[in-house]
């Protein structure tokens, strides 16, 4: 099986629980640390899927970060070749941009646990283990518009576009399904100013976030398992198709 390409943009936002799920199933992966000047994958066809993760920068900061424009082009090529893409927060915004959608500042940021509602019951059954609502961790101040041809999966009270599916195999998410408690505690140490700068209901206090993590993670990981299992179906469909072509 070809490996999953994992694109990590900052040292404090890695694949975490996503990588745990891959390793449990023996699915190979290669991590590209672009923050340490690793080159991006040169050929999307060498991979069975591409997973893009988060970061504090905006997809509109291409003049500041060398990898933003090339990664957008890489994800667009993956979509064209039907190599499944999954994007987490910034990664979801990069996927939306690759599909031609606008990414812009939100009216209010979301930091902490956020309640998300599925847009219809069929979507909930397909991607979220039948759950009509889920509670996931968020830390973002940008949001994506809906790409043309995409299907909206989730919304929240403060951000209408929380996740989308494209072509049945690509998934863009505004939230962080990959997180574990120790990583978020690191975010609180370096990003507490983002929290202190906003007194709005969509932003939890650092103390409240810290106190909630151990109790909140099991449910978050249960949802993440269902999300990743559904996304990996597309990866496996691609593998079966390639084998069939090779033996035809």
Residue 247 belongs to a domain: no
Residue 68 belongs to a domain: yes
Cα torsion for 9, 148, 119, 20, to the nearest 10°?
-30
Q: Identify whether the C-beta of residue 114 lies closer than 8 Å to the C-beta of residue 135.
A: yes
Residue 239 pLDDT > 90, yes or no?
A: no
Tokens describing residue 85: 């893409």
pLDDT in tens, 155-206: 999 999 999 999 999 999 999 999 999 999 999 999 888 898 888 999 999 9
Q: How far is CA 6 from CA 41, 181, 189, in A?
A: 9, 21, 25
Residue 246 belongs to a domain: no
Residue 50: give its domain's CATH number.
3.40.50.880
Question: Can you give the residue range of the structural domain that contains 124?
Answer: 4-240
Residue 19 pLDDT > 70, yes or no?
A: yes
Q: What is the pLDDT of residue 242?
A: 60
H helices of 128-205, where?
181-196
How far apart CA 2 and CA 184 sit, in angstroms, is: 31
Pairing of strands 151-155, 163-166: antiparallel
Q: How many domains does the chain have?
A: 1
Residue 90 belongs to a domain: yes
Catalytic residues: 89, 176, 178
Residue 248 belongs to a domain: no
Residue 132 belongs to a domain: yes
Give SS3 for 223.
helix
How far is residue 221 CA from its own chain's centroid?
14
Residue 103 belongs to a domain: yes
pLDDT in tens, 104-133: 999 899 999 999 999 977 877 899 999 999
Give SS3 for 200.
coil
Q: What is the pLDDT of residue 121?
A: 76
pLDDT in tens, 59-96: 999 999 999 999 999 999 999 999 999 999 999 999 99
Q: What is the pLDDT of residue 62?
A: 96
Q: Which H or E run contains 97?
A: helix 90-98
Q: Identify whether the C-beta of residue 128 lies closer than 8 Å to the C-beta of residue 134.
A: yes
Q: What is the pLDDT of residue 241?
A: 59
Q: What is the pLDDT of residue 247?
A: 47
Residue 5 pLDDT > 60, yes or no?
A: yes
**Whole-structure pTM value:** 0.94
Residue 240 pLDDT > 90, yes or no?
A: no
How far apart, in Å, do the first and last CA atoms of the chain sit? 18
pLDDT in tens, 32-55: 999 999 999 999 999 999 999 999
């Amino acid at each position: 099986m070809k490996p999953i390409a994992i694109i990590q943009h900052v040292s404090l936002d890695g694949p975490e629980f996503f990588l745990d799920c891959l390793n449990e199933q023996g699915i190979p992966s290669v991590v590209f640390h672009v923050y340490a000047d690793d080159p991006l994958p040169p050929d999307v066809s060498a991979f069975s899927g591409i997973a893009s993760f988060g970061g504090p920068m905006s997809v509109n900061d291409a003049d500041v970060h060398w990898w933003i424009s090339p990664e957008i082009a890489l994800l667009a090529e993956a979509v064209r070749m039907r190599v499944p893409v999954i994007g987490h927060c910034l990664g979801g915004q990069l996927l939306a941009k690759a599909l031609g959608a606008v990414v812009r500042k939100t009216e209010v940021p979301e930091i902490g646990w956020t309640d998300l509602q599925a847009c219809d019951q069929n979507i909930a059954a397909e991607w979220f283990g039948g759950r009509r609502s889920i509670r996931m961790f968020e830390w973002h101040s940008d949001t994506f518009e809906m790409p043309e041809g995409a299907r909206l999966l989730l919304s929240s009270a403060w951000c209408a576009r929380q996740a989308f599916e494209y072509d049945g195999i690509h998934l863009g998410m505004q939230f962080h399904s990959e997180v574990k408690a120790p990583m978020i505690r690191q975010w609180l140490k370096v990003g507490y100013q983002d929290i202190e700068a906003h007194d709005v209901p969509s932003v939890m206090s650092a103390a409240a976030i810290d106190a909630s993590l151990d109790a909140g993670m099991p449910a978050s990981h249960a949802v993440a398992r269902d999300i990743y299992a559904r996304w990996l179906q597309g990866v496996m469909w691609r593998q079966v198709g390639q084998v069939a072509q090779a033996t035809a």
